[in-house]
Chain A
Amino acid sequence: MNNKIYDVAIVGGGHNGLTTACYLAKAGLKVIVVERHDYVGGAAVSRELYPGWTYTNCSYVCSLLRPEIFRDLELSKFGLQIIPYEGSATMLDDGRFYAHYNDHDLTYRSIAQFSKRDAEAYDRFGRDVMRQCKIIKPLLKMTPPDPTSFAPKDIMGLFEFAKYFVAKDELGGLGEKEIYDTIRFWTMSVRDYLEEYFESDVIKAHLAGSAIIGTALGPYSPGSAYVLLHHYMGEVDGTIGAWGYSRGGMGSITQAMSKSFQSKGGEVKVGSPVAKILIKNNRSYGLILENGDEIYANKIVSNLDVKRTFLKVVEQNQLPEDFYLAVKNFKIRGSSGKLNIALDDLPTWKSIPVGDPAGTGDLHITQSIEEMEGAYDDWKDGNWSSYPYVDMCVPSINDPTIAPQGKHYMSVFIQYVPYNLADGGWTEEKRKKFGNHVMNRIGNYSNNFNDIIKHAEIRTPKELEAEVGLTEGNIFQGELTMDQLMFNRPIPGYAQYKTPIKNLYMCGSSTHPGGGVMGAPGANAAREILRDMNKQIESHYI
């Protein structure tokens, strides 16, 4: 029996849990990460699920991971390599495709074949979105101030927040017009936003894709433009908005984090599902595992989503009633599915020529924003979309380590798939039917796709929930809507990584700034914990 007391025990070894762990270990604390599965990684995992193929079966591309965290955790040293890809494309029924390249002139030409006017508007759009990214970036790193509090920390925080807006233009503050644009951007629907720039359906549909991934919003829903930003503000090697594959699959990120953590003396305990968080006199002091073992620690950090934390591993009688209710009413909806497919050969497309750089990035299947909204309507009625938005990529083109020589691995993300089907629950049969439905759609756009499928793993929100532990299979650990962002995330009044229980913290994507393989929630939580312990470390991020 292990009776030593840790400084900090972290429940769940996802990328945020590991990020928190690394920072705390760096400060010299004795930290243990307790993970349910036999491997760490949460939703950033890669495993050999079919002999010879490494499936990255949840999150699939990398961009949002904060560069400061990358440096602080020395992830390169521990084997992480990000391979930027060169473009993305949307395939159309009429055999044309719209491609977006990292090269400005190529993109311009690609847009111009649909609309000259849109090609001109694209620069204006790019500039405006980049400006919004610049505004939001410092906010990601910030612990959201509580606007209802009079504590000096919160008032300073609000001041910090207001600084961008109030500062004189010469000092990098926003102009009056930009402030209005920002407010509009944060509250508008992505359709309305894009319509202010573009006329061509395909350009709008291509750009709107990022705004609906993972959310229970449609492109017509107010607030969806913000989600666009959430996917746009990433960067690879300093290139804002760029995306890349992590070599060896997304699991390499968490593997590198885990190694970095262990190199600092941290302990990872896998295969140990946590049954309960031990709480006495409103103070948490340890964990009890499902096998009955107990682990004691001065501070407990939960990487689980807020619902799982407070409805599953904390007893209800330990929580204030309105907090419990607020957690119960937290919006976390499954809306996405995933197919992971082992292919015998390189898939070729009817529209995109082999060798076009756009074919190496993410490929979307959608015709228009209207079709995407229709897909959302289906979801609202409890059905999977008849014309789902499909975002797929073949990372094995750029990363040969994940599939056998000459063979390929394809990751397919599907929006929208409900967690609960209207006509009864999910069954094995329905899951297969759903998988076939999506593969048929992809097959329509490919020359050889149907013939080269070797194995396919079909994942509905149910599977995402069962494997990763994300409630309802929501990939962001909670909807990214205004009522659940910033100081409202996850619960108003508890947005500063703390909980009503002393010594119990949250560090998952349920907290500000939200989902995506970003690491920011984890690093922010680490900062708050270190502040509470009066410890300081040297880092780029904190």
Chain B
Amino acid sequence: MSKYDAIIIGGGHNGLVCASYLSKKGCKILILEKNENLGGLVNCASSLNGFSSKILDDLKIDLPKLNYNSYVVALHSDQQHTILQENNNKINFIKSNASGENQKKFSSLINKYKIYASTLSNFMYEVPPRLKSGNSKDTWQLINMGWKIRKLGKKNMREFLRVIGLNIADELEDNLSDNNLMGLLAHEAILGSNLGPRSPGSILSLLYRQAIQNGLFASEKYDFHQLIPSLEKICHNQGVEIKNNASVKKIITTNNQASGVILDNEEKIDAGIIISNADPKTTYFDLLGTEPLDTDFIRRAKNIRTKGNIAKLTITLKENPIIQNIDKEKMNAKFIYAPDINYIERAFNASKYNKYNENLCFEFHHCVNVIVANIYYVPHVKNNTHNKERLIQHSINLLKPFISNLEIEKAELLTPNEIEEKYNVTGGHWHHGDFEIDQMLMMRPFYGSAQYTTPIKNLYLCSAGTHPGGGITGINGRNAAKKIMRDKK
């Protein structure tokens, strides 16, 4: 008899959430984390407003909210920045060169998407149904999903079915004329994806962002530094064992059934259930090995698109940064530089060929004298051939025009390749795989592995690579736990 009911590989937020749910039901869980600290990619995040409030309620977590009015600044090279703020689902323009009509249309576009996003969010807390399993429960769930879309009403449903395949650039150009606003919304749509503003499907990616967040530019945010400690505390209280610096080498299977893991130090731990919070590719190719899998399955697993393209730059300045035309009180804003659609598209063009050009897009936050920026499109490249010094210089050059006193004490950059290595995420992809129609719902991560299950009995997935997708929501972990509990019965 093994000591644990289940082992969770990876102590990211989804692993912790999954452990919390399972241990609540009395399961004895062991979490194995490769790094010294828990949290995984959460450590790469700079804000948190997408964590599921349902999970917070379920687990009775009281996550402190940050109660300041945060602004969003769309930087412009002529220093005439657009400043806006979202309060109670309403977007206020503090300062903008865009015409009143443009501002109105901008808000109405976001409100339109909000309706569709809430339809999508209906599906997020369900284990996605299979399309043709012959099981009446799946059929019923599918009909139910169709009904929810129908409930949008004729006009909205038509528009919904149109925009899910559309690209954001077309939609923006049809409705707006202000470059800065168009760039801002395009940025929100494509950040973290492998799409350009003109790639079909970029609206869907925006809808997903909206579905998991309280508001696209919402000011109401959680203090994300508290998330992982809170989850850790719950786990401890519920008797979950957590082992840091424990890198899993292999998942042990016997008779097509997972039975334990072997650590890097050759220690062997048995458990009835193994849950992988690693991304699907890592799970199948590194941890499990392809031996027990059939060819078609391996091919499908290989074909998931997991190329990351965001680099994280952290710079420490000699003094607090000053940005022209931005008051001190608005310095806690999220700053975005994606000046217009064509600029973004050109930056994207280079990333398609695994290159980057000097004119990249970025967003950053700052806290005292530290600036944390996400620079994209910096593609994940084979053999990590980035010239890092140059990349850092390019990134700093991008910030230079906006920060008048940019005197750097220290600059650190994490390329997608380094993110891959540090957090064990294939491709360094934020979301463990692109969110596109062919990689969502019952097709996430791919057919045969979609309902948190795998072809190996008692081996489950709970990472962002599963439905509903990436972002710090915790829903993947929760859904996986539900599925496991159901299977156990």
Contacts and interface: CB of A to CB of B under 8 A. Distances in A.
Contacts of B163: 483
Given A148-B157, A329-B174, A222 B200 contact: yes
A192 B170 CA distance: 23
Contact of A481 (B150, B166, B352, B353): B166
A381 B443 CA distance: 34
Given A147-B150, A331-B170, 13 more contacts: A148-B154, A148-B157, A149-B154, A165-B132, A183-B438, A187-B165, A192-B303, A329-B174, A482-B165, A482-B200, A483-B165, A488-B161, A493-B158
A217 interface: yes
A176 B131 contact: yes
Interface in B159-191: 159, 161-166, 170, 174
Contacts of B437: 183, 187, 222
> Which 10 interchain pairs have the tightest Cβ spacing?
A482-B165, A492-B158, A176-B132, A180-B447, A483-B166, A187-B437, A184-B438, A223-B200, A483-B165, A329-B174
A148 B443 contact: no
Contact of B199 (A149, A196, A221): A221
Contacts of B342: 380-381
A196 B200 contact: no
A377 B447 CA distance: 33
Nearest to A495: B158
Contacts of A217: 200
B232 interface: no
B349 interface: yes
B195 interface: yes
Contact of A222 (B150, B199, B443, B447): B199
A223 B438 contact: no
Given A147-B161, A183-B438, A175 B199 contact: no
Nearest to A481: B200
Nearest to A326: B162
A179 interface: yes
A196 B299 CA distance: 8
A466 B21 CA distance: 66
Interface residues of A, number: 39
Nearest to A223: B200
8 contacts: A180-B443, A184-B438, A187-B438, A192-B303, A222-B200, A380-B345, A482-B165, A483-B200
A67 to B, nearest CB: 30
Interface in A151-185: 165-166, 174-177, 179-180, 183-184
B137 to A, nearest CB: 15
A149 B161 CA distance: 14
B441 to A, nearest CB: 10
Nearest to A333: B170
A328 B175 CA distance: 11
Contacts of A72: none
A369 B131 CA distance: 33
A148 B161 CA distance: 10
B165 A184 contact: no
A176 B158 contact: no
Interface in B181-209: 195, 198-201
Contacts of A397: none
B82 to A, nearest CB: 25
Interface in B26-57: none
A488 B195 CA distance: 23
Contacts of A476: none
A370 to B, nearest CB: 6
Contact of B132 (A175, A380, A493): A175
Interface string B293-337: 000000100010100000000000000000000000000000000
Contact of B162 (A195, A220, A328, A492): A492
A373 interface: yes
Given A187-B436, A331-B170, A223 B165 contact: yes
A228 to B, nearest CB: 15
A365 B174 CA distance: 35
A487 interface: yes
A493 B162 CA distance: 11
Contacts of B170: 329, 331
B367 to A, nearest CB: 37
B133 interface: yes
Contacts, number: 95
A188 interface: yes
Which residue, B195, B436, B443, has most C-beta atoms of chain A within 10 A? B436
A493 B195 CA distance: 29
Contact of B352 (A177, A196, A220, A485): A220
B380 interface: no
A538 B167 CA distance: 43
Given A179-B132, A380-B345, A492 B159 contact: yes
Contacts of A492: 158-159, 161-162
A196 B447 contact: no
A421 B109 CA distance: 30
Interface string A379-391: 0110000000000
A487 B162 CA distance: 9
Contacts of A166: 132
A175 B201 CA distance: 26
B307 to A, nearest CB: 11
A331 B165 CA distance: 13
A315 B176 CA distance: 25
A44 to B, nearest CB: 29
A175 B174 CA distance: 40
Given A177-B447, A222-B200, A165 B131 contact: yes
Contacts of B198: 221, 380
Interface string A309-338: 000000000000000000011010000000
B133 A176 contact: yes
A307 to B, nearest CB: 14
Contacts of A196: 299, 303
Contacts of B346: 381
Contact of A487 (B132, B161, B164): B161
A536 B157 CA distance: 34
A149 to B, nearest CB: 8
B281 interface: no
B382 to A, nearest CB: 15
A493 B161 CA distance: 11
B239 to A, nearest CB: 40
Contact of B131 (A180, A188, A223): A180
Given A196-B303, A221-B200, A483-B166, A147 B349 contact: no
Contacts of A329: 170, 174
